[in-house]
Amino acid sequence: MNHSYATFLLEDQLFGVRVDHVQEVLENVRLTQVPLAPPSVSGLLNLRGQIVVALDMRVQFGRPPRPPGAPCVHVVVRLDGEAVSLLFDRVADVVDVADGDQEPVPPTLPEAVKVLAPTVVTQPHAVLLLLDLDRAATVN
């Protein structure tokens, strides 16, 4: 069985999210800071009247936070009926992945990666990490 994955880049690493989980992708969004929130919370955005939390995937994956004003894309996913925005650097292609091509991430990868993206797909030119959306969208 094949599934389509939308892929996004954090620096030069590819991450994949099942296409049917992606509600929309936004750019140039005004964010409202949340004082005293954990560092992974970039802010809140107004999505047609609905308040959506934006999470910085750089922080989620244990990297330094994105500097304010740096270009980014909001990948809005729907989880348990609630929209959450995951912040990546850039949008990449949509790819088809066969279930049989998925394998667990190598144990040598950082803990954050193993938890948030437990499966990996090897492609000719890159390695695609598949997100566990529920964990990736959990504020720590």
CA angle centred on 66, ends 65 and 67, rounded to 5°? 110
Strand ranges of the sheet holding 73-79, from the earlier edge strand across to the other edge = 22-26, 73-79, 82-88, 50-56, 41-47
Q: What are phi and psi of 112, to 5 degrees?
A: -60, -40
> Which residue's CB is nearer to other proteins, number 16 or number 43?
43
> Which residue's CB is nearer to other proteins, number 44 or number 91?
44
The three-class DSSP label of residue 21 is helix
| Least distance to other proteins, CB of residue 96, Å | 30
| Least distance to other proteins, CB of residue 136, Å | 11
List of residues contacting other proteins (CB under 8 A)? 30-38, 41, 43-46, 49-53, 80, 82-84, 137-139
| Least distance to other proteins, CB of residue 14, Å | 25
> Which residue's CB is nearer to other proteins, number 102 or number 138?
138
> Which residue's CB is nearer to other proteins, number 7 or number 56?
56
Count of Cβ atoms closer than 10 Å to residue 122 Cβ? 10
| Least distance to other proteins, CB of residue 85, Å | 11
CA-based nearest residue to 2, from 14, 18, 16: 18
